[in-house]
Structure 1
Amino acid sequence: MLSNELPIGFIDSGVGGLTVVKEAMRQLPNEHILYLGDTARCPYGPRPAQQVVEFTWQMTQFLIDQGIKMLVIACNTATAVALDEIKAKVDIPVIGVIQPGSRSALKASHTGEIAVIGTEGTVKSATYEKELLEKSPDVHVRSLACPKFVPVVESNQFTSPVAKKIVAETLAPLMYNKPDTLILGCTHYPLLRPIIQNVMGSDVTLIDSGAETVNDLSTLLDYFNLNNYDRKVSKTCKFYTTGSPKMFRDIAGDWLDLKTLEVEHIHLGGK
């Protein structure tokens, strides 16, 4: 039987999943958190699906070995290709980021014109389109791959003039017949949210699939009776990265507004 005091595990291809962790820290202040970002092998988007599955399994097994009560695949690419397999084979609850984001977009859209931006892998999988059309066959879905967004975030340039130029140029195809709702189909993208919103305009609703996932996570904790009610022990947040701990610490510290971070470098396998 799982202990309520065990941490929740979060995995991502890099720092993007920190956007999910930030929301989890806000909504679930008593929960312990373990986060693993595979920054050495990021981005996952251009990689073959089977390789993404392999890498996702490596991260999953690492966190399970540390002892977690639930796993959040805080990466859209990994969710698209690996979620079902991992859910079927591990004995803890597992949640991805695509279903919650899709549901939120359908609630927000008034015109049925929904766009999805994501990595090449997420867009190629068409998982968002399938999810949206399955729930609401009348919506019109457009998807756009944004391969330059993740490298900008991972290099800690997400507020730079370079980021503004890349976002404006990449999103240009969506400016003709604009959607009323745009799904940020990669957990890295909320770090670019102010720029994306400025380019798309205030009349377009942005959906943060990662933040929406935490609502489902909270529901699952209730359903499985796994909430941590022990407030005697200080909440812990530990971070693992396959890349540079300093780069990770700089981005995570700024984004999560934490002055001290416990970041450990680990090795998961070859590139």
Structure 2
Amino acid sequence: MKKPIGVIDSGVGGLTVVHELMRQLPKEPLIYLGDTERCPYGPRTEEEVKQFTWEMVHFLLKKNIKMLVIACNTATAFAINDLHEKLDIPVIGVIKPGARAAIKSTENDYIGIIGTEGTIRSEAYNDALRQIKSEIEVLSLACPAFAPMVEKGLLEGPEARRVVEKSLVPISKHDKMDTLILGCTHYPLLKDTIQEVVGEDIKVISSSEETARETSTTLDIHQIADDDDQSPLHQFYATGDLEIFIDITQRIFKDSQFEVLTIKHADL
């Protein structure tokens, strides 16, 4: 089916999911919308997150998307049930795929979760993990400094290391945890630094790969996969300043064909 897959996020973090979608589904055209102007979503109310999410969805529906991927943990936590109920296209979030990946990884059923304030407050990961395996022990920690740091393009170096070390102090003391979920799609852009801080014994899990696999399966189930052999042109939209967005996009996507465009959130 020659229609694009729509992907939304609060900012640049969802590009980590897009990267994996492009790797696993190279024939599928993608339209990405990052709400960089209003990022982060973590401190916002559930009502605000739902409103902003629906504004992005309506924009992408005008682009005739065949499927929606919510590449934002906070938006997934607060809005996915409403989207499932009201949309007539398949909708994939990042929380259940992330939970499944962590369950596969853990050897002692002791899993840590770091995310935005909204995601941690919702306990969506706790619920998703325990729906799969009720005896899982869960340690949750909000890291509100991470997403704004990524949005500024600060992904590595001494300053990033200092912020990560300070933020992770509460979970660094727990020696039982063997798996850590990056419960925000911004965090994989800090994965190397996070791994250094928590140590090599901890498996650091991103939901990106599992989300892409679920997307692939859903395309097959609904028989809407694109079988065109021509390399697709992807479109990336941002609501805020494009300079940092383009810089991070170029760091992640080196050889892919894409165009970066701007859209004001007032026009969503």
Pick the aligned partner of 2:94 from 82, 94, 97. Answer: 97
Give 1:211 shift.
2.5
C-alpha contact 1:52 1:78 (8 A) present in aligned 2: yes
Change (3 A) 1:235 1:172: same
Distance in structure 2 (CA, Å) of the matches to 1:260 and 1:237 = 6
Matched, 1:86 2:91: no
Q: Which residue of 2 aligns with 1:213?
A: 211
8 Å contact kept, 1:111–1:180: yes
Matched, 1:29 2:26: yes
In the alignment, the residues of structure 2 paired with residue 6 and residue 89 of structure 1 have an alpha-carbon distance, to the nearest angstrom, of: 20
Q: Which residue of 1 aligns with 2:158?
A: 161
Number of the residue aligned with 1:246: 243
What is the match of residue 188 of structure 1? 186
Are 1:249 and 1:261, in contact at CA under 8 Å, matched by a contact in 2? no
The equivalent position to 2:174 in structure 1, one of 174, 177, 181, is 177
Could you state the TM-score of these two structures normalised by the residue count of structure 1?
0.95
> Within 2, Cα distance between the matches of 1:204 and 1:195?
13
The answer as to whether partners of 1:253 and 1:261 remain within 8 angstroms in 2 is: no
Q: Which residue of 2 aligns with 1:14?
A: 11
SS at match of 2:114: strand
> Percent of aligned pairs with the same residue?
49
Asked if 1:144 corresponds to 2:173, the answer is: no
Matched, 1:74 2:68: no
Unmatched tracts of structure 1, length 5 or more: none
Q: Of 185, 198, 201, which aligns to 2:199?
A: 201
Shift of 1:127: 0.5
Whole-Å Cα distance in 1 between the matches of residues 101 and 155 of structure 2? 25
Gaps of 5+ in 2: none
Q: Report the secondary structure of 1:92's partner residue.
A: coil
Aligned residues: 266
Mapped partners of 1:165, 1:92: distance in 2: 43
The one-letter code of the counterpart of 2:129 is L
- Specify the code of the residue in structure 1 equivalent to 2:159: V
Superposed CA deviations along residues 41-64 of structure 1, whole A, max 9, x for unmatched, are 000000001100000000001001
- Equivalent position SS for 1:51: helix
Per the alignment, residue 47 of structure 2 pairs with 50
Instruction: Choose 260-269 or 137-146, whichever is displaced more.
Output: 260-269
1:111 aligns to 2:108 (yes or no): yes
Deviation at 1:210, TM superposition (A): 2.4
In structure 2, how many angstroms separate the alpha carbons of the residues matched to 1:70 and 1:133?
Answer: 28
